[in-house]
A and B are shown apart, each in its own frame.
Chain A
Amino acid sequence: MTSNQDYILQVRNLTKTFAGIKALNDVQLDLRKGEVHALMGENGAGKSTFMKILSGLETPDSGEISLSGTLLANKTVREAQRSGISMIHQEILAVPELTVAQNIFLGRELTHWLPGWLDNRSINQQAEKLLNHMGATINVRAKMKNLSVAEQQMVEIAKAISNNAQVLIMDEPTSALSYKEVDVLFKLIDELKQKGVAIIYISHKMEEIRQLADTITVLRDGNYIGTYPANELDTHSLINLMVGREINNLFPEASSQAGREVLRIENLTRQDAFSNISFTVHEGEILGIGGLMGAGRTELARAIFGLDRPESGEIYVKGQRIDITSPQQAIRTGIGYVSDDRKGWGFIPELSIKHNLTLASLPAHANGTFIDAKRETESAHKMIRELRIKTAGPDQKIAQLSGGNQQKVVIGKVLLASPSLIILDEPTRGIDVGAKFEIYKLIRQLAADGVAIIVISSELPELIGLSDRILVLEKGKQTALLDKAEASQEMILRYAMPN
């Protein structure tokens, strides 16, 4: 193996097989000190497995990993940490009932001279020093559960730094952060770079990769595709490398024409969430809703769908004033909702794809109270075909599908209830670029079929690419309703940011 002073971490011919399927096949990586190295690939490309091996959660079948020129035998998380590799997880793994300081020193508590006797004062002092140094103002005595996601992430990073991490792995670190918090994170990443920490960065957001990455390594189907300097690779070619085929236009052309009014909202208000919201959506139209996290977008969607009750204001569906009091009623009225929290609100993990698909339209799949299994299977096959859900069959458990395919099942569930309006909240969150493209096409297709659509998105290119009109919220207030022609990222952000 060639050893180079510049490289902090070198990976050669890493291979890992699960149940006879190669999750990783001869993967390489050369990581320089102080660089942000983006690891790109679709879901299932092997990124997670790769990172799990580096952080000691999995052991490879073969291959070599060397840190600063010494060959590693990564066996456990502890060993990985000791050797200087730390991972900030996608879903944050903190102990919610412990304090910030206790979490930072979890697993290597400071003790007095008596073994096992905690030295809480030193733990708190050192944690405070660490966080101050990072420029974070977090009370180290606060319980972890009382922190925002961004703050929790800061704590995780502090923990990694206190471990003397030389390599920091960040898996979708911004997926739950607001724009502002993302800024703070990016500044911190810059500082870490200055100090020579190497960062492996995983994200589905092209914008972030453009902004942060120095080097990009692409994986596809467990294979190593290549490593490129970030400035030599434009977004278009990067996507093509990841997908392995040509995707020319990520956002399909609008082909629909707005028809009759489907939904009209007038002065809708729910305390502490949003106030005086008014807009209309028509058949075949896609209305985008933009805004920062906490601007009240999801709350608005939930109120329209009957999950929460608004205090005042009116909702009209096809000209009829309706008081929506429950999701059942919303569905009966022709409103469908795809939540931003797929695991929490989208599907039932124990049920099959088929049974998830028909869940919102069971009366239509039954004779009286008895479920018509044949009709159910037919509907499931139809949705699997039309939405191109990649599955072994309708009886497969939904939990076994990739995120993108799970999302398609959730959308299929909503579609089977034949809605005239669909609200999609962050429809591509955590979904890889190939599946994203398919979901965009699907949304456009639905609009072309005359369905009215509301898309809530934090990804500005997505919001602009999909929407015919864009409603912008700021702290629960409606600040703009833009036409596609006039909307730009800068403009949306201006209306979305508090002055």
Chain B
Amino acid sequence: MKNTSNTYVDLVGGSPNLRIKGLGQYGIFVAFALICLALSLTTRNFLSWGNLMIVVTQVSINALLAFGVTFVIITGGIDLSLGSMVAVTGVVAASFAHPDTYPVAVPIGMGLLAGLAIGAFNGFVITRSNVPPFIVTLGTMTIGRGLALILSKGRPISNLSDSFNFIGGGQLFGVPMPIFILIILFVLCAILLNKTILGRYMYAIGGNEQAARASGIPLNKIKMVVYTLCGGLAGLAGILLTSRITTGQPNAGAGFELDAIAAAIIGGTSTSGGTGTMAGALIGALLIGVISNGLDLLNVTSYYQEVVMGIIIIGAVVLDSLQHKKK
């Protein structure tokens, strides 16, 4: 029997099966390392501390969304409303973040609450109706965009307090704040997925919903929690983005859901549910960030970048399915 003595793998990616020990997870790490190596050889700046900090900071928002949607996809669902949730929560947070109004905890709390509420709405409709998550969250995506425009009266909300802007723009010990937030949430999400009953139930529901039900797992309760959690993470991403651009933008976040889903899938999460890891989602998000950064450094125009990104997404899934076939 193959065995992993690697506790790192156990903490961050301990999938409930042997997958982690197979090539599936390995492949993406290797690909990531190779791309980093190639970029450090072909560009002058890639490996510089400054550039790396920029890349990870840029990645942090997509990574938070990818963590959330990974939970959802593992249970066999999908969430298309992430981008709109980023806009709504950003606008909500911004409305409470003007200087000399509320302490910084208020905009953070309100933004987070808005995300949790929209996520709970998704979960509620999905569990109370037989409508597929794809359709429900597609609807929520439009509702959310509308809400963001209504709440902001269609205008960006600027003039935010310094303490609020510190969340996305500040530094601690020379490291940007978003990186700390990213690391903390990654650890929390990984623990939740791998070490708790809730996490195990997510895998079970996505793997075989009927068998999960017959094992006494409260399907609706778990799904409710999962969509709410995803909304909460989107809320944090919205706060982070608003703080970084120092404006609550009702048009922000368009298409973010697709990048997040792409990160999850590149990281080995199967869209049919039942498999996936947080480490995979993180690497997926980093991979997307590194490639787009690398193409920038190589002076490739953004038109081509889109094409490259698409090829990578398809390539990742094709590789994954080839591996499954081999088994």
Give the interface of A toward B (CB within 8 A). 305, 307, 326-328, 330-332, 337, 339, 344-352, 355, 359-360, 362-363, 366, 369-371, 392-393, 395-397, 413, 417
Bound Cα distance from A260 to B269, whole angstroms: 50
Tell me the interface secondary structure of chain B in the complex.
Answer: helix
Assembly CA distance A326 to B215 (angstroms) = 10
- Which one of A344, A351, A355, A397 has the greatest number of beta carbons of chain B within 10 Å? A351
Interchain Cβ contacts under 8 Å between A and B, 8 examples: A331-B216, A348-B203, A350-B207, A350-B275, A359-B217, A371-B195, A395-B17, A396-B18
B208 at the interface (CB under 8 A from A): yes
Known contacts A345-B214, A350-B16, A351-B16; 20 further A-B pairs (Cβ under 8 A): A326-B216, A331-B215, A337-B214, A339-B214, A346-B214, A350-B17, A350-B203, A350-B274, A352-B16, A352-B17, A352-B18, A360-B216, A362-B197, A362-B200, A366-B197, A369-B196, A371-B195, A371-B200, A396-B18, A417-B216
A392 vs B2: C-alpha distance when bound (angstroms): 11
Contact A349 B208 (CB under 8 A): yes
Residues of chain B contacted by A307 (CB below 8 angstroms): 213-214
Q: Which of A305, A359, A369, A371 has most chain B Cβ within 10 Å?
A: A359
A345 vs B207: C-alpha distance in the bound complex, in angstroms?
11
Binding site for A on B (CB under 8 A): 1, 16-18, 195-198, 200-201, 203-204, 206-208, 210-218, 274-275
Which are the 7 A-B pairs with shortest beta-carbon distances? A348-B207, A350-B274, A331-B216, A350-B207, A328-B216, A360-B215, A359-B215
Tell me if B196 and A344 are in contact (CB < 8 A).
Answer: no
In contact, B216 and A330 (Cβ under 8 angstroms): yes
In the complex, are the beta carbons of A346 and B211 less than 8 A apart? yes
Question: Which residues of the partner chain A approach B196 to less than 8 Å between Cβ atoms?
Answer: 366, 369-371
B211 adjacent to A355 (CB under 8 Å) = no
B193 to chain A minimum Cβ distance, whole angstroms, is 11
Nearest B-chain residue to A369, judged by Cβ: B196
Interchain CB contact under 8 A, B195 and A370: yes
Q: How far is the CA of A312 from the CA of B210 in the complex (A)?
A: 25
Q: Which of B17, B195, B204, B216 contacts A327 (CB 8 A)?
A: B216
A326-B204 in contact (CB<8A): no
Q: Which B residues are in CB contact (< 8 Å) with A346?
A: 211, 214
Tell me which of B212, B216, B275 has the highest count of chain A C-beta atoms within 10 A of its own C-beta: B216
Q: Which residues of A contact B204 (CB under 8 A)?
A: 348, 351, 359
Q: Inside 8 A of B16's CB, which chain A residues have their CB?
A: 350-352, 355
- Shortest distance in angstroms between A45's beta carbon and chain B's nearest beta carbon? 23
B196 to chain A, nearest CB (A): 5
User: Which one, A328, A339, A366, contacts B217 given CB within 8 A?
Assistant: A328
Residues of A within 8 A of B207 (CB): 348-351
Please determine whether A413 and B215 come into contact, CB atoms closer than 8 angstroms.
Answer: yes
Chain B residue nearest in CB terms to A306 = B216
Return chain A residues, CB-CB under 8 Å to B203: 348, 350-351, 355
Q: Are B214 and A393 in contact (CB under 8 A)?
A: no
Quick one: which of B17, B196, B201, B210 has the most chain A CB within 10 A?
A: B17
Min distance, Cβ A400 to any Cβ of chain B, angstroms: 9
Known: A350-B17, A396-B18. A345 touches B211 (CB 8 A): yes
Cβ contact within 8 Å between B216 and A395: no
